[in-house]
Structure 1
Amino acid sequence: MSDLYVKVCGITDVEQLEWAIDLGYDAVGLMRAPKSQRLVNVETACRLAEHAAGRIETFAVGLTLDQVEPVRDAVDTVQLYEYADVASLALASDTPPHSTKGLDYWFYDASHGTGTFTEIPDWVRDVDARFVLAGGLNPDNVTEVVTRYQPDGVDVSSGVESSAGVKDYALMKAFIDAVRAV
């Protein structure tokens, strides 16, 4: 399972973006949800997406389409917590999607962006979509979660932060090392 897709969400500056690229992450998330402590403004999101172009996949992450709309053309994928009829959609939820038609990814996230780990239901394996586990993952629990649920990918944010909203290189490295060792 060494080809597991690994995304780090909540990137806020070029240094963190470079860490993700250097460490071998597959994607980064740029937060557009207004209440997130990792929120990046339109200018910063576009600048980060431009810096990442051709080197790592970029996601604009929001609860609704209107939150990501201003940066939608700058990123590769739009990740929302509600369905929208858009190209390159990643739907995040804690319930099975009504339909997986048109989804590039389905993120199981019971934490709704809080970073709190909750037990993952067995039915996640039955969803017919490229499925990524998110919510409360960290270097200490990701191996067990990947082994048990065999997702197509994992997504981390607060689990690789030294303080709220601040990514830590050593934790980012520990996380991806744990994933790649599975």
Structure 2
Amino acid sequence: MFVKVCGITTFEQIDWAVELGYSAIGVIFHPKSKRYVGYEKGVRLAEYAKGKISTVCVGIDFDEVKDVIDKFDYVQLYNYEKHDNLIYATTKEPENQIFQYLIYDKSMGKGMFEEDYPKWICKYKDKLIISGGLTAENVNKVLKKINPAGVDVSSGVEESYGVKSFDKMKSFIEKVKNHF
């Protein structure tokens, strides 16, 4: 199971993700996000994580990540752009798009939990990552209902907006691991 913690802003959070057994960390390059880190800090975070955990640069459009993609293992975009290691985030069924993973997040990064999922996502289960409002309290419901290839969490493991909590990150990953 691919388990990504997104919105990473510190080296300490990377250490937590590695220690707890997350698959990947996400670093946000969308300037309007409170979890935005900017080019220099984002590259330092990627370099620090290299060889320890997979890294994902996250942007709405390709222009937000084009200068950093060579530093990351994956690029996550909400507006489709062809890329070798693309994690494509969408709420609509893909039409001939090529991607490594498909993130379904109806809230589009706003962290609102979705209980009703469109039937078309089942076609992509081997590449599907569910995101949006996931917490330790609701992730097993999603895993049981959909059985995706992965899950993506951000606000669900935070003490306050943008500030990750080791205890919440631990609780989340334990719920995922204990599901299987």
Answering whether residue 23 of structure 2 is matched by residue 26 of structure 1, we say yes
Answering whether residue 114 of structure 2 is matched by residue 118 of structure 1, we say yes
CA distance in 2, matches of 1:23, 1:179: 12
CA distance in 2, matches of 1:161, 1:127: 29
Q: How does 1:149-164 map to 2 (within 5 A)?
A: 149-164=146-161
Unaligned runs of 5+ in 2: none
Question: Shift of residue 127 of structure 1?
Answer: 2.7
Identify which of 55, 58, 61 aligns with 1:61.
Answer: 58
CA distance in 1, matches of 2:126, 2:144: 19
Unaligned runs of 5+ in 1: none
Q: CA RMSD in A?
A: 1.1
Equivalent position of 1:139 in the other structure: 136
Equivalent position of 1:45 in the other structure: 42
Task: State the TM-score, normalizing by the size of structure 2.
Answer: 0.96
Equivalent position of 2:166 in the other structure: 169
Question: In the alignment, residue 107 of structure 1 is paired with which amino acid?
Answer: I
User: Which contiguous aligned blocks of 4+ residues in structure 1 show a shift greater than 2 angstroms?
Assistant: 119-123
Question: In the alignment, residue 26 of structure 1 is paired with which amino acid?
Answer: S
- Give secondary structure in 1 for the equivalent of 2:42: helix
Question: Shift of residue 176 of structure 1?
Answer: 0.1
Answering whether residue 8 of structure 2 is matched by residue 14 of structure 1, we say no
Question: Shift of residue 121 of structure 1?
Answer: 2.4
Percent identity over the alignment is: 45
Task: State the TM-score, normalizing by the size of structure 1.
Answer: 0.95
